């Protein structure tokens, strides 16, 4: 628990991260120092990274550790785990992030981010990968 | 430059794994070339072994053998007669093989015209009279188990049409029409790639050949002869209005709408394509929006300018409209 991720080698980090915290939201919120892996039931960051490559998130976002272009339409996602807001509007909570990556307009109607072809399980995996992205 | 995603969505499909796709033929044209490759490899291997043996003999052999090796007779046989026989035989074999592949098919055979453009593929399906009846881009649909005649042309510079599992490369040369007959023995998706450097994003110029069971192909063809229905979803309908108002139709054609530009890929059925940007991205609303807003970040140097004028909602509407064109 409280595993701190190095910024080097997202792939290695992905392997090391374990999501054993069952309801760790409060714990994460209270921890002023180390960044906690966020709680996402049955989510698997490595699977999330593969999904990110399959659906082409990189067309709009620069995402460390993901093969593909470095899109500039949406914000770069480096350090996303420590970002306060999703899309500048929504609190960066795991449940909201999992919904956001699948159906952003449901949270922010004016967003430019279209709904993505992801299942609920896939969105949790994608969110889990994004939470491995810590700032240096 | 970022690692081209085409190494995953087209090139990797095309080139990854063992046997290498060029040696894993999916049709008769590729099979003939694979056989030719193996014959060449075996023959050159045999000749290499003979030469190595001769060298070993010359260095280490008994004096009598060395004298025999350096005789004039062996030079004439091994140095002149044998190469003439072997190379002439290979030339005849190679030329007849490739000549057969380049021959035009019988009248009535399905014909597709593929034109290499910087840096995508214009695709037109011809009817019996040679008229272009279906327009598409970056994806070619064919019936499995039947030969199809490809007319290969180029609009600007030399490109090369290469589907490793179906045939060898054939250059697309401006002002010429090269003919290639292809057949996919089994239904499936066969990846292709431009195989002649054609400038900037050449490495990101991929395409797919989709082979259908014949009955399914006929249904596909019949559906493609009619333009898609206008969008019923309000967001997509708004996207159609944004598309029309933003001048997209100056470069892109959508049959059944006012958009009739010919500079860029035909978008009549863009939502039905398996990939975006000539084989480099998956095709969905997200990648469509990203491509429209800033394709230069995805495929630097391509001819489509970035469109930074749309609001988020307009961009999503456009993506919804385009994805619905299927």
Chain B interface includes A136 (CB < 8 A): no
Are B291 and A59 inside 8 Å of each other by CB?
A: yes
- B11 belongs to a structural domain: no
Residue B174 sits in the same domain as residue B197: yes
- B94 belongs to a structural domain: yes
Q: Which of B102, B130, B150 is the last residue of a domain?
A: B102
Mean pLDDT of all residues in B33-58: 92
Chain B interface includes A112 (CB < 8 A): yes
pLDDT at A3 over 70: no
Residue B151 sits in the same domain as residue B196: yes
Strand partners, B122: B115, B137
- B8 belongs to a structural domain: no
Query: Between residues 293 and 312 of chain B, which touch chain A (CB distance below 8 Å)?
Result: 293-294, 297-299, 310-312
Are A55 and B284 inside 8 Å of each other by CB?
A: yes
- B140 belongs to a structural domain: yes
Residue with the bigger pLDDT between B50 and A24: it is: B50
Find chain B residues with C-beta within 8 A of A55's C-beta.
282, 284, 286-287
Mean pLDDT of all residues in B104-121: 92
What per-residue confidence (pLDDT) applies to A40? 82
Q: What does the alpha-carbon distance between residue B166 and residue A48 come to, in Å, rounded to a whole number?
A: 34
pLDDT at A129 over 60: yes
Residue B241 sits in the same domain as residue B318: yes
Mean pLDDT of all residues in B36-58: 93
Residues of chain B above pLDDT 70, percent: 95
Q: Which two tokens stand for residue B229?
A: 């229905």
- A2 belongs to a structural domain: no
Give me the DSSP letters along B223-242: HHTSPPPPP-SHHHHHHHHH
Residue B91 sits in the same domain as residue B116: no
- B141 belongs to a structural domain: yes
Q: Which of B195, B223, B251 is the last residue of a domain?
A: B223
- A135 belongs to a structural domain: no
When pLDDT is cut at 50, 70 and 90, the band that residue B16 belongs to is low
Domain count, chain B: 3
Give the lowest-confidence range in A2-11, B50-59, B145-154: A2-11
Domain count, chain A: 1
What digits encode the pLDDT tens for the residues B200-254? 999 999 999 999 999 999 999 999 999 999 999 999 999 999 999 999 999 999 9
Mean pLDDT of all residues in B277-290: 94
Mean pLDDT of all residues in B144-158: 96
pLDDT at B286 over 50: yes
pLDDT at B113 over 70: yes
Q: How far is A21 from chain B (nearest CA, A)?
A: 32
What per-residue confidence (pLDDT) applies to B107? 83
Chain A interface includes B204 (CB < 8 A): no
What per-residue confidence (pLDDT) applies to A10? 42
- A37 belongs to a structural domain: yes
- A5 belongs to a structural domain: no
When pLDDT is cut at 50, 70 and 90, the band that residue A13 belongs to is very low
pLDDT at B176 over 50: yes
What per-residue confidence (pLDDT) applies to A102? 97
- A71 belongs to a structural domain: yes
Q: How far is A19 from chain B (nearest CA, A)?
A: 28
Q: Could you tell me which residues come within 8 angstroms of residue B150 by beta carbon, excluding any fewer than 6 positions away? A: B111, B112, B113, B114, B140, B161, B179, B180, B181, B182
Are A58 and B288 inside 8 Å of each other by CB?
A: no
Name the pTM for this structure.
Answer: 0.84
When pLDDT is cut at 50, 70 and 90, the band that residue B15 belongs to is low
Q: What CATH code is carried by the domain that includes residue B243? A: 2.60.40.420
Choose from B3, B312, B320, B324 for mutation: most chain A CBs within 10 A: B312
When pLDDT is cut at 50, 70 and 90, the band that residue B114 belongs to is very high
Are A56 and B8 inside 8 Å of each other by CB?
A: no
Find chain A residues with C-beta within 8 A of B2's C-beta.
67-70
When pLDDT is cut at 50, 70 and 90, the band that residue A128 belongs to is very high
Q: Which domain holds residue A40?
A: 10-130
Average pLDDT, chain B: 91
Mean pLDDT of all residues in B9-27: 73
> Which pairs count as long-range contacts for B7-13, CB under 8 Å and 24+ apart, including other chains?
B8/A53, B8/A67, B9/B206, B9/B275, B9/B279, B9/B280, B9/B281, B9/B282, B10/B191, B10/B192, B10/B193, B10/B206, B10/B207, B10/B208, B10/B275, B10/B279, B10/B280, B11/B191, B11/B193, B11/B203, B11/B206, B13/B189, B13/B191
- B16 belongs to a structural domain: no
ipTM value, please give it.
0.83
Chain B interface includes A111 (CB < 8 A): yes
- B14 belongs to a structural domain: no
pLDDT at B54 over 60: yes
Residues of chain B above pLDDT 90, percent: 77
When pLDDT is cut at 50, 70 and 90, the band that residue A136 belongs to is low
What per-residue confidence (pLDDT) applies to B14? 60
Q: What CATH code is carried by the domain that includes residue A60? A: 2.60.40.420
Residue with the bigger pLDDT between B61 and A129: it is: A129
Q: Which of B102, B128, B148 is the last residue of a domain?
A: B102
Residue B280 sits in the same domain as residue B199: no
Chain A interface includes B5 (CB < 8 A): yes
Q: Which domain holds residue B298?
A: 234-324
- B6 belongs to a structural domain: no
């Amino acid at each position: 628990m409280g595993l701190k991720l190095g910024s080097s080698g997202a792939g290695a980090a992905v392997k090391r991260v374990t999501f054993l915290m069952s309801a760790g939201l409060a714990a994460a919120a209270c921890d002023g120092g180390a960044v906690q892996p966020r709680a996402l039931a049955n989510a698997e960051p490595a699977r999330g990274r593969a999904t990110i490559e399959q659906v082409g998130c990189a067309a709009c976002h620069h995402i460390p550790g993901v093969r593909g272009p470095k899109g500039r339409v949406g914000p770069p996602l480096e350090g996303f785990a420590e970002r306060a807001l999703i899309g500048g509007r929504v609190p960066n909570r795991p449940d909201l992030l999992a919904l956001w990556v699948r159906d952003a307009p449901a949270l922010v109607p004016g967003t430019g981010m279209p709904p993505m072809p992801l299942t609920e399980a896939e969105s949790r995996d994608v969110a889990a990968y994004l939470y491995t992205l810590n700032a240096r | 430059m970022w690692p081209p995603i085409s190494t995953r969505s087209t090139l990797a499909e095309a080139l990854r794994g063992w046997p290498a796709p060029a040696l894993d033929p999916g049709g008769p044209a590729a099979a003939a070339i694979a056989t030719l490759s193996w014959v060449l490899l075996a023959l050159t291997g045999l000749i290499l072994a003979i030469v190595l043996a001769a060298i070993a003999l010359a260095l280490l052999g008994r004096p009598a053998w060395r004298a025999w090796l350096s005789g004039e007779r062996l030079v004439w046989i091994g140095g002149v007669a044998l190469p003439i026989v072997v190379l002439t035989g290979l030339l005849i074999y190679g030329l007849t093989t490739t000549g057969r592949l380049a021959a035009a098919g019988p009248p009535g055979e399905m014909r597709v015209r593929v034109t290499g453009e910087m840096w995508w593929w214009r695709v037109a399906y011809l009817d019996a009279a040679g008229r272009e009846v279906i327009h598409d881009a970056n994806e070619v649909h064919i019936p499995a188990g039947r030969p199809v005649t490809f007319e290969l042309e180029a609009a600007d510079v030399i490109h090369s049409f290469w589907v490793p599992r179906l045939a060898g490369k054939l250059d697309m040369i401006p002002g010429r029409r090269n003919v290639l007959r292809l057949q996919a023995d089994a239904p499936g998706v066969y990846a292709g790639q431009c195989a002649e450097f054609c400038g900037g994003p050449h490495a990101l110029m991929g395409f797919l050949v989709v082979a259908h069971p014949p009955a399914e192909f006929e249904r596909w063809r019949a559906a493609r002869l009619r333009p898609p229905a206008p969008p019923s979803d309000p967001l997509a309908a708004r996207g159609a209005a944004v598309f029309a108002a933003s001048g997209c139709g100056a470069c892109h054609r959508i049959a059944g709408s006012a958009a009739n530009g010919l500079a860029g890929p035909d978008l009549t059925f863009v939502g039905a394509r398996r990939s975006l940007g000539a084989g480099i991205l998956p095709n969905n609303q997200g990648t469509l929006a990203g491509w429209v807003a800033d394709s230069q970040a995805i495929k630097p140097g391509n001819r489509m300018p970035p469109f930074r004028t749309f609001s988020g909602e307009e961009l999503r509407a456009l993506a919804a409209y385009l994805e619905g064109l299927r």
